[in-house]
Structure 1
């Protein structure tokens, strides 16, 4: 049988738990800062940067050869196609000594972020605020050897974290 002191203690603990639950529910319902981080610091007229991390099947890329190796863009575009990317075009580009250069605009921020993982975050990024399409140019450089494996890509994405909007843009999801 419970003593009066124990019953009283259980009642007090129960009431405190109930008050805490009510307080949490009210705080969540009345929260006015749900999207505060999404547009914090955005200036009027800044382009909207799509920071949605895309699936490969949603990413359109141009694969360009920035090396002296003949046919590299075609070979690597086949590798990207096997990984479900949409290849818009292949071709040659000015030579570069980098592993790769990723050129993209505000609509391609999330796509470029995904592609960085395929180069283990060793690709140079070239953001162009004037670019209006979501396609990412992948310029393969003379230091390029191969694309990362699926496991390496997943580890690299974990290291990279979430896509971040470039300076001078407003981050949005699923534009």
Structure 2
């Protein structure tokens, strides 16, 4: 082996060792190790579950706030066909002008994010930090027409990005 080749191998080896040293230093001195977790969360703030659940793991109540009778039952059947766990079907006070309203608490943030996609990101958020269950109330409004198709849901989820903790809540330390 020629001297030039040995010298080149030594230089490449030193550069590799230097790069490895920089990577190890960056990992060891990382000051953002707790980013996105409950560490540093103010006392009393609820932990929001930001896990984007599969439909089979999402519990919902479907409530009709439209002038059309029986709407909640038909939409509940649509959700059941999409593998959601429909808990209750009923009526809500009329006069919701939106497509829908999603009422949920800290344990259902990820579930509400998924359901928002079924309304093409046009449902109104109604977060209640004192709510303790993991059920989302889907209140159908007067502008509701139909649930989105699977392709539309996937596109809406992509447009919306990952779930974020609502104001006054902290992300839970680990997604299940």
Q: TM-score, normalised by structure 1?
A: 0.92
Q: Deviations over 1:107-148 (max 9, x none)?
A: 111100000000000000100111110100000011000000
User: Aligned residue pairs: how many?
Assistant: 174
- The separation in 1 between residues aligned to 2:111 and 2:132, in whole angstroms, is 14
Structure 1: which 5+ residue stretches go unaligned? none
Q: Please state how far the C-alpha of 1:37 moved relative to its aligned partner.
A: 2.9
CA RMSD of aligned residues (A): 1.8
The answer for the alignment partner of 1:108 in structure 2 is 108
- The separation in 1 between residues aligned to 2:161 and 2:145, in whole angstroms, is 24
- The separation in 2 between residues aligned to 1:46 and 1:82, in whole angstroms, is 36
- The separation in 2 between residues aligned to 1:134 and 1:37, in whole angstroms, is 21
The answer for the alignment partner of 1:74 in structure 2 is 73
The answer for the alignment partner of 1:148 in structure 2 is 148
The answer for the alignment partner of 1:136 in structure 2 is 136
- The separation in 2 between residues aligned to 1:138 and 1:164, in whole angstroms, is 19
Structure 2: which 5+ residue stretches go unaligned? none
Contact 2:38 2:47 in 1 (8 A): no
Shift in CA distance, 31/90, structure 1 to aligned 2, threshold 3 Å: same
The runs of 4+ residues in structure 1 deviating greater than 6 Å are none
Q: Please state how far the C-alpha of 1:56 moved relative to its aligned partner.
A: 0.5
Q: Please state how far the C-alpha of 1:31 moved relative to its aligned partner.
A: 4.2
The answer for the alignment partner of 1:126 in structure 2 is 126
SS at 1:89's partner residue? strand
Q: Please state how far the C-alpha of 1:30 moved relative to its aligned partner.
A: 5.8
The question of 1:37 aligning with 2:22 is answered no
Q: TM-score, normalised by structure 2?
A: 0.91
